[in-house]
Amino acid sequence: MLFDFFYAGMVAIGFAILFSSPKETLFFVFLTGGLGYEIRDFLIEKMFLGYEISTYFSAFAISVLGIVFAKLQKIPQSVYVISGSIVLVPGIYAYETMIAFIDFATSTLQNDTNMLKLLQNGSKTTLTLGAIAFGITTPSIIFRRYAFKLS
């Protein structure tokens, strides 16, 4: 669990450096990435929620942390949220979707197994990406009226 937190935070820092984020934001980016990943992991393993809904709540938490850190450091929220939410992207499901699509398109036997894999992985990828998008935007919509009062 601690290793997952550390590795997810390092991935977030790597993308923050790739996106040329200021040096003073890297610790907070580490926290958003690590906490976001651990929240999703906790919700899946301990609370027995689905992958997509856990990703939504994790992205929501990352966005709330991004709002708080943006107010603390007077740096745009996107610096924290974009790098912190990279760890939530369903890379393996997107990869398996593409492999299933290629297998389905090139196979001379159009069997149901290839189509089923394509639909399962494709829908999981799409729903997870949608959960990330909605999870990131929901706190901004909720706290918009307070944004001008806090600054």
Does residue 100 lie in a domain region? no
Question: Which of 72, 94, 89, 87 is CA-nearest to residue 16?
Answer: 87
User: What is the band of 60 on the pLDDT scale with cuts at 50, 70, 90?
Assistant: very high
The whole-model pTM stands at 0.90
End-to-end CA distance of the chain, in Å?
36
Decide if 70 contacts 76 (C-beta within 8 A): yes
Question: Which of 88, 91, 94, 102 is CA-nearest to residue 122?
Answer: 94
Give how far Cα 24 sits from Cα of 16, 33, 75, Å. Answer: 11, 16, 10
Domain limits for position 83: 2-89+130-150
Does residue 144 lie in a domain region? yes
Decide if 35 contacts 2 (C-beta within 8 A): no
Residue 109 reports pLDDT greater than 90: no
Does residue 27 lie in a domain region? yes
Q: What are the tens digits of pLDDT across the range 66-97? A: 999 999 999 999 999 999 999 999 999 999 99
Task: Give the span between the Cα atoms of 83 and 29, in whole angstroms.
Answer: 7
Give the DSSP per-residue string, 88-107: GS-HHHHHHHHHHHHHHHH-
Number of domains in the chain: 1
